[in-house]
Amino acid sequence: MSTATATTEPLYPALAAPPPPARPRVLLVGTILASAAMVMGYAGIIGAYVSTRATSASPWLPDGVVIPLSAPNMAAVTLLMSVVTLHWAQYSIRNDDRPNAYVALGLTLVLGVAFVNSAVYLFTQMGAAIARTLPEFLLYAVGGFHIATIAVGVVYVALMAFRALGGQYSGRDSEGVAAAAVFWDAAVAVYLVSWLAVYVTK
Amino acid sequence: MTVIEAPSSAPPEATQDSRREPRGLPAVLGSGDHKTIGRVWIGASALFLVLTVVVGVLLGVERITVDELEVLGNDHVLQFFSLYRVGLTFLVVLPFFLGLATAIVPLQVGASSIAFPRAAEAALWTWLGGAVLLLVSYAIDGGPVAAPNLDPESIALGVVGLGLVVLGLLTAIVCVVTTVIALRPVRMSLLQVPPFAWSMLVAGVIWLLSLPVFMAGLVLAYLDLRYGQLLFAQPGELYQRLAWIFAQPQVYAMAIPVLGVAAEIVPVSAGTVQRRRGALWIGISGFGAFAFGAWAQPFYRSQLLTEAAYVGFAFAIGLALLIVLGGVADSARKDRPALRPAFVLSVLALFVLLAAVGAGAAAVIEPFHLLGTSWEVGHLNLVLTASLVGALAALCWWSPKLWGRHVPAPLAYGAGLLLVGGGVVLAAAEGVAGVLDQPAFSFAGFEPRDGVETFNIVAAAGAVLFALGAVLLVLALLRAMVGNDTAEDAQDPWGGQTLEWSAPSPPPVGNFAEPVAEVTSATPLVTNEEGGA
């Protein structure tokens, strides 16, 4: 049998039913907590890097190891663009603009993969070897952390994109995309800290 | 939209069967039911408790003679030392409270399930798998302790095992904290959640912010072991880099739930409603905030131990604890509380925790120079004692809800008194030995002042008493877990004030007969004026 899906306005607004209870935002809260844990994990790694650098004899980087600024700059710009596209996707979903949401989610995924490519390329440019000296080892640890977190973010966004394609998210419920955006923003924020503390200040 | 209706000829029994609660192995392995998951956490942590207290006794005996190592030998003493601390913290106390929270907190906030039930199940098995790997690595000359005589591959296995343990704990924390924040009924504010749920929220946030830092250390350690051993070049350096988790202020984080347990039990036992709830909440939150210790890692900054912030935290946490004690005492003064095991043990746990905070504050005072001595080990043992006694009190309180059976009072009192007596004797003797210059990490090859060996004998006796108490605790748990009988008063034996006592004991899948729609009181089961229901 079929039922009507259109909503009807109440005949007497004063007698309208009370608004439904606020929907629990379980996924969003869980993602905020997981993102906080990720940020603290990053704090542990960058803390080890900075404190070891502060107590080491100068120069910090051994001969033959250089950190070119162009690749980290490009990576930072790529991630900043991905933040814009992901929030564009979130805005579009919230306004039931599905075509724009799909384009924005796809662009975010492409930019995320581009960042991973850029970060791996940076390792080849630096001339560093993970098992040679302590600074090189820590450079790999910090860079590897960002590759891992953005890779997790790409999987998260892809999952939410597939759910959006399946029609799960709409203007009434965009929680999944909002949750992915929270994790993505946190991952980008910690990369920007590394960009400043590791790649710019060296 | 098309609605497909079931044919009217379908037998109703078939529908009931498909919704029947899973039993036996399927229930344990993958039902996703939070009570089952919580029970497995608690049972497994009890098994690990027996193992770790045996290690504690061996360490106590090893300490008796300071000239040579006769029991464990120089090759293995650091391994056992780390196993005792890692075991009691990550395999016993934290998982016990997380298991209890997994089982009880959804009931307390009126939820039909825990948030992310499959993640909660995965957390349990990740933790358990990691624990097994960790113990296997210890058995094959490993563990997260780098030393020249140990096998690097086995050490790496231990680091991976401990990493999985922490990952499992973190996942479980996310589930519990999300449950408190997002699955409360409409109009139940955070001020109205039960004290244990609030303490788990505070503890969960603190663990969530500090354990990832510990995890980062483990990741670096693993990479270092695989690639050149550049970061942890010196023997024992790996453990010292991770040891901040067992030192103040971070060590207090494992005892945060004890405050919630006591604040839950005392008012109900006194037949009253907690007054000045906001102050109590501030006390528990303050205790949690001052227990955050990821910033206090002396390995990176040795001068940290004399800095004002470090010393200030040691004293400030005492003030927060006094606020909690005052709030709990205020609720008990109206009437003479019923002297049940849960009440007695929870109050004892609070006083042991107060002693621990006092010992911690004494250690950071400059003239005493007790940091780095076995005073620190005694301090850790006091916190562990308070946590275990608090866990026992919680077990006595909620076992009718979890298993439908009471913990026998003689077993509970016996376990509690042995734990408190043994723990206090052990800690006091280790503390005095620390005053006599006995170091925390070295077991031989140092020169303490005369009389240390006498106190080490007393400490060993304390370790034996503590171990006996732990064994009785496990027996008490077994008595509650095993059996076909259900206590007649199991649904609400104490005159409980919070939602879990309105559910059947043990609660079915879905917890409540009908969804809890709206809660406007902190004590929804209290019908008098004071309760506000």
- Please spell the DSSP secondary structure of A79-117, one letter per residue: HHHHHHHHHHHHHHHHTT-HHHHHHHHHHHHHHHHHHHH
Q: How far apart are CA B486 and CA B500, in angstroms?
A: 17
Q: Which residue of B has its CA nearest to A22?
A: B186
Nearest chain B Cα distance for residue A72, angstroms: 22
User: For residue range A25-45, what is the model confidence (pLDDT) as tens digits?
Assistant: 899 999 999 999 999 999 999
Question: How close B151 gets to chain A, by Cα (Å)?
Answer: 19
Q: Is A134 on the interface with B (CB under 8 A)?
A: yes
Does A1 contact B at CB distance below 8 Å? yes
Residue A37 sits at the chain B interface (C-beta within 8 Å): yes
Distance of alpha carbon B95 from alpha carbon B128, whole angstroms: 10
Distance of residue B388 Cα from the nearest chain A Cα, in angstroms = 27
Residue A23 has pLDDT above 80, yes or no: no
From first to last of its 533 residues, chain B has per-residue pLDDT tens of 333 333 333 444 434 444 566 677 777 776 788 999 999 999 999 999 999 999 999 998 888 876 676 667 777 788 888 999 999 999 999 999 999 999 999 999 999 999 999 999 999 999 999 999 999 999 998 888 767 777 888 888 999 999 999 999 999 999 999 999 999 888 888 999 999 999 999 999 999 999 999 999 999 988 888 887 777 666 567 787 888 999 989 999 999 999 999 999 999 998 888 888 899 999 999 999 999 998 888 877 777 777 888 889 999 999 999 999 999 998 887 777 888 999 999 999 999 999 999 999 998 887 777 888 889 999 999 999 999 999 999 999 999 999 999 999 999 999 999 999 999 999 999 999 988 888 887 666 666 677 788 899 999 999 999 999 999 999 999 999 887 777 788 788 888 889 999 998 889 888 888 877 778 788 888 765 454 43
Q: Determine the Cα–Cα distance for residues B202 and B96; give it in Å rounded to an integer.
A: 16
What pLDDT digit, counting tens, does each position of A137-175 carry? 899 999 999 999 999 999 999 999 999 999 888 888 889
Asked if A51 is an interface residue toward chain B (Cβ–Cβ < 8 A), one would say yes
Longest dimension (CA), chain B: 88
Domain boundaries B30-481, corresponding CATH code: 1.20.210.10
3-state secondary structure B179-215: HHHHCCCECCCHHHCCHHHHHHHHHHHHHHHHHHHHH
Residue B18 has what pLDDT? 47
Chain B interface, best mutation among A2, A3, A29, A175, by max B CB count within 10 A: A29
Q: Is B183 within 8 Å of B111 (Cβ atoms)?
A: yes
Rounded to a whole number, what is the distance in Å from the CA of B171 to chain A's nearest CA?
8
Instruction: Tell me the CA distances in angstroms from B50 to A174, B23, B29, B88, B169, one per residue in order.
Output: 48, 27, 24, 10, 20
Handedness of CA A56, A57, A59, A63 (dihedral sign): negative
Contacts with A22 from chain B: Cβ below 8 Å? 186
Query: For A20, which residue in chain B has the nearest alpha carbon?
Result: B186
A3: nearest CB among B3, B213, B214: B3
Domain boundaries, chain B: 30-481
Phi, psi at residue B518, to the nearest 5°? -150, 135
| Contacts with B208 from chain A: Cβ below 8 Å | 33, 36-37, 40
Q: Which residue of B has its CA nearest to A43?
A: B213
User: With 70 as the cut, is the pLDDT of residue A5 above it?
Assistant: no
Backbone angles phi, psi at B439, to 5 degrees: -70, 160
**Is the predicted pLDDT of residue A130 greater than 80, yes or no?**
yes
pLDDT for B185 equals 86
Tokens describing residue B475: 């027996």
Min distance A86 CA to chain B CA atoms (Å): 24
Contact B223 A140 (CB under 8 A): yes
User: Whole-model pTM?
Assistant: 0.90
Shortest CA distance from A54: residue in chain B: B300
How close does chain A come to B174, measured CA to CA in Å? 6
**pLDDT at A9 exceeding the cut of 60:** no
Backbone angles phi, psi at A7, to 5 degrees: -90, 150
**d(Cα B323, Cα B308) in Å, to the nearest integer?**
23
The residue in chain B having the minimum alpha-carbon distance to the alpha carbon of residue A56 is B300
Q: Which residues of B touch A3 (CB under 8 A)?
A: 1, 3
Q: Does A6 have pLDDT greater than 60?
A: no
Probe site for chain B from A25, A26, A50 (most B CB atoms < 10 A): A26
B104 burial via Cβ count (<10 Å: 0-12, 13-18, 19+): buried
- Of B201, B166, B163, B172, the closest CA to residue B184 belongs to B201
Question: Mind spelling out the 3-state secondary structure of B367-388?
Answer: HHCCCCEHHHHHHHHHHHHHHH
Of A21, A131, A141, the CB nearest to B220: A141
- Interface with chain A: mutation pick from B4, B175, B178, highest number of A CBs within 10 Å: B178
CB–CB contact B228 A132 (8 Å): yes
> Which pLDDT value is given to residue B152?
82
Binary contact (A133, B230; C-beta < 8 A): yes
Structure tokens at B474: 């496990």
For residue A3, give how far its alpha carbon lies from the nearest alpha carbon of chain B (Å): 6
Helices A70-94 and A98-126, axial angle in degrees (round to 10): 160
- What pLDDT does A172 receive? 83
pLDDT tens figures, A185-194: 999 999 999 9
Tokens of B109: 């906030």
Q: Which of B343, B355, B366, B481 is nearest to B424 (CA)?
A: B355
Smallest CA–CA distance, residue B228 to chain A, in Å, is: 5
Q: Which chain A residue shows the shortest CA-CA distance from B210?
A: A40
Residues of chain B found within 8 Å of residue A141, distances taken between Cβ atoms: 219-220, 223
* A26-200 placed in CATH 1.20.120.80: yes
| Closest residue to B213, CB basis, from A34, A40, A132 | A40
Cβ-defined contact of A44 to B214 (cutoff 8 Å): yes
Q: Are B217 and B177 in contact (CB under 8 A)?
A: no
Tokens of B317: 């946490």
Using alpha carbons, select from A176, A195, A141 the residue that is nearest to residue B231. Answer: A141
SS3 B433: helix
Name, in order, each residue with C-beta under 8 angstroms of B433's C-beta and a sequence gap of 6 or more: B63, B373, B374, B448, B452, B455, B456, B459
